[in-house]
Amino acid sequence: MLEVNDLNVYYGAIHALKGISFHLEEGEIVALIGSNGAGKSSTLNTISGLLRSRTGEIKFQGENISETPPDEIVRRGIIQVPEGRRIFAPLTVTENLEMGAYIHNDRVQIEQDMEEMFNRFPRLRERRKQTGGTLSGGEQQMLAIARGLMARPKLLLLDEPSMGLAPLLVEQIFEIIQDINKRGTSILLVEQNAQMALSIADRGYVLETGKIILEDSADALLENPLVINAYLGG
């Protein structure tokens, strides 16, 4: 479904991604794990078209999207839920969800999608008239994911969904991610909580200073001494 080949991305003179290559099959959850500054968010932003690679290519469903504008990438079905939620704080929960559906014109379908989001996230139904900025961190994360789903993604890019959340809420968010995947959406998950990410992923890649240093099944990575020592508190 997604094929990333030889990405080299720079911020000025800083070489952020150094020849990154990986793939994701339809229906998979693939985790990208690594410490802060490893290049995880830069990878997602390059796939989304927000950053450009100097080399290589990105293929989605067999088509090269390396030069495709971000809005067209959204229309093709790749949706990113950004790090730090990035909800529209002055808008209500309902308005945030409507913003997620901006590429669709069928009003009836949008209303049905919104009802589905309220069924998946009952807390958002209770808060639907509240502005996004008044929600708790966990509620904002649910809203960010629901807003992404309103675009009806084929591939969902999740950037640090557990950041800043209490452990109980982290478990809840990861259950939601598994449910989204079971309903047919492929997921590329960037996450510092390696234990949680690998516990729900099919496969994983470990990034270090802009390079992929390890790739394996999620189960194998959970038992890999390198991963245990560096990322699982071993």
Banded model confidence at residue 111, pLDDT cuts 50, 70, 90: very high
What residues does each domain of the chain span?
Answer: 26-38+77-231
* Rounded-to-integer distance, Cα 80 and Cα 117, Å: 17
Give the pLDDT confidence score for residue 210 in this predicted structure: 95
Half-sphere exposure of 127 toward its Cβ, with a 13 Å CA cutoff? 22
Instruction: Using DSSP, state whether 140 is helix, strand or coil.
Output: helix
Q: What is the mean pLDDT of residues 191-209?
A: 94
Task: Please state which of the four CATH numbers 3.40.50.1820, 1.20.810.10, 3.40.50.300, 3.90.1300.10 is assigned to the domain occupying 26-38+77-231.
Answer: 3.40.50.300
2-11 and 57-60 beta bridge pairing: antiparallel
pLDDT of residue 131: 95
Residue found by looking up tokens 């069928």 in the block: 106
**Using alpha carbons only, how large is the chain's radius of gyration in Å?**
17
pLDDT tens per residue across span 25-61: 999 999 999 988 899 999 999 999 999 999 999 999 9
Q: Quick check: 78 pLDDT over 80?
A: yes
Mean pLDDT value across residues 134-159: 93
Separation of alpha carbons 222 and 203, rounded Å: 10
pLDDT tens per residue across span 202-217: 999 999 999 999 999 9
8, pLDDT greater than 90:
yes
Q: How high is the pLDDT of residue 234? A: 60
* Average pLDDT of the segment spanning 165-175: 88
Rounded Cα gap, residues 8 and 121, in angstroms:
38
Cα angle 57, 3, 85; round to 5: 95
Residue 57's H or E segment, with its range, is: strand 57-60
Most confident of 34-38, 79-83, 218-222: 218-222
Residues 6+ apart with CB under 8 A from 66: 52, 53, 56, 57, 58
